[in-house]
Structure 1
Amino acid sequence: MLTSVFILIVMSVPTYAATILILGDSLSAGYGMPEDQGWVQLLRNQLPQHQVINGSVSGETTAGGLRRLPSLLASSKPDLIVIELGGNDGLRGFPPNKLKSNLTKIITLSQQQGAKVLLTEIMVPPNYGPRYAKSFTQIYHQLAEQYTIKLIPFFMQDIATDKALMQRDGIHPNEQAQDTITLLMLPWITQALSE
């Protein structure tokens, strides 16, 4: 009960008109559906007083996001950046140390430009092996602690096991899952803006 009240209070706190940049991959780019059905557009609908910029590209890796980041920061000057990258690094079996290096540079570059940072946890499928999967996910927790940023739990964790919420490829969430993702992301973003 107290938690629910706290969330309601946080979400009702008036906040300044902020610019929010979502730096992600296909999970945030709305792959396989009209762009206006994706969770980022649904987030825009929930935060009409803010500018939400979707800097997500399907197939994006952390290296690609890092390459694009300087121009995105220069053009949008975000107050808050949500980093949702790493899934394609994992699916391609990239070394965890490369993932960590790229994410570190993305975080530090964002903070140097004065943006608050939220990091979205990413997990790889278990068939990649428990050792790789564990070392991969641990990087997000390590970086969140090192840079004192909030780590959003992987929003696909429950969705990926529900066929009714997944596209036929078994990788991407469908339109029915977008409300669920929005409801998970919204309190984290709202709280970050109110701090």
Structure 2
Amino acid sequence: MFVRLLMLQRYRIVAALTAILLASSASGQSVLILGDSISAAYGMEKTQGWVHLFEQKLQPYCNNSRVINASVSGETTAGGKSRLPELLDAHQPDIVVIELGGNDGLRGLSPIAMRRNLETMITLARDSGATPVLLGMRIPPNYGPQYTKLFEQQFQLAAQQHDVPFVPFFLEGILEHGGFQQDGIHPAIEAQPLLLRNAESVLGPILPDCYAGSDEAAKADEHV
């Protein structure tokens, strides 16, 4: 028993040292989040939203990284497209996360125009030297099957055409884990960690240095 405890303690020390070394060697990267109310933490404190949780997750293992939350409640893809050039000049991000389109759908705007806006933002980000990431969205079925299908397809087409890391439905699993606020549109506070996990499915591979330390620490905790 004593030997086993000693081995576990040694494993934790090695894992902690590995995490420290990874953190010190990880190159800082800046991540620009260009989103709408879902990423602007609508209906809650900013510190409770998934973007803040993402920033907290990076800090212990990649403390040179920056997360710039440029999300605005009510933003459409047209609005994001018009704001992006100035944001790129001001922050020169390494990664641009595009979480827009939901308001286009809720307002019944053209899905084709939405895709063109998304593609323009992807191109602007890539031309600036950043890696674009696309978080897809769906809309309620009451908009009609033809419109909802066409809407969803535009995210897939934009991602495939430009070969970008892509989450087909950013709100996947929300109903089962945390649910929505009373308006039935915005994810609740309890659902924010799930939003983070959905985003991490594509952000993790782009930020391997930042997530390697986190994985080592998690493995150490599993052996306690």
With the length of structure 1 as denominator, give the TM-score of the two structures. Answer: 0.88
Instruction: Give the Å deviation of 1:15.
Output: 4.2
1:173 aligns with 187
Within 5 Å, which residues of 2 pair with 1:62-73?
Answer: 62-73=77-88
- Which of 8, 21, 32 lines up with 2:43 in the alignment? 32
Within 5 Å, which residues of 2 pair with 1:30-179?
Answer: 30-48=41-59, 49=63, 50-159=65-174, 161-162=175-176, 164-179=178-193
Instruction: Give the Å deviation of 1:185.
Output: 1.5
Q: What CA distance in whole angstroms lies between the structure 2 residues aligned with 1:16 and 1:26? A: 30
Q: What CA distance in whole angstroms lies between the structure 2 residues aligned with 1:163 and 1:41? A: 19
Q: What CA distance in whole angstroms lies between the structure 1 residues aligned with 2:134 and 2:117? A: 13
Residues 30-62 of structure 1: per-residue CA shift (max 9 Å, x gap): 000000100000000001121011010000000
Instruction: Give the Å deviation of 1:155.
Output: 2.4
Q: What CA distance in whole angstroms lies between the structure 2 residues aligned with 1:190 and 1:82? A: 13
Q: What CA distance in whole angstroms lies between the structure 1 residues aligned with 2:34 and 2:187? A: 18
Residues 50-88 of structure 1: per-residue CA shift (max 9 Å, x gap): 101101000000011011101110111010011000000
**Rg (Cα) greater in structure:** 2
| Structure 1 unmatched runs, 5+ | 1-11
Contact 1:80 1:118 in 2 (8 A): yes
| Structure 2 unmatched runs, 5+ | 1-18, 210-224
Counterpart amino acid of 2:151?
A: F
Residue 117 of structure 1 aligns to a residue whose secondary structure is strand
Residue 28 of structure 1 aligns to a residue whose secondary structure is coil
Identify if the C-alpha distance between structure 1 residues 29 and 77 changes in structure 2 by more than 3 Å, giving closer, same or farther: same
Contact 1:80 1:193 in 2 (8 A): no
Seq. identity, %:
45
Q: What CA distance in whole angstroms lies between the structure 2 residues aligned with 1:150 and 1:163? A: 24
**Two-structure CA RMSD over aligned residues (Å):** 1.8
Counterpart amino acid of 1:23?
A: L
2:205 aligns with 191
Residue 39 of structure 2 aligns to a residue whose secondary structure is helix
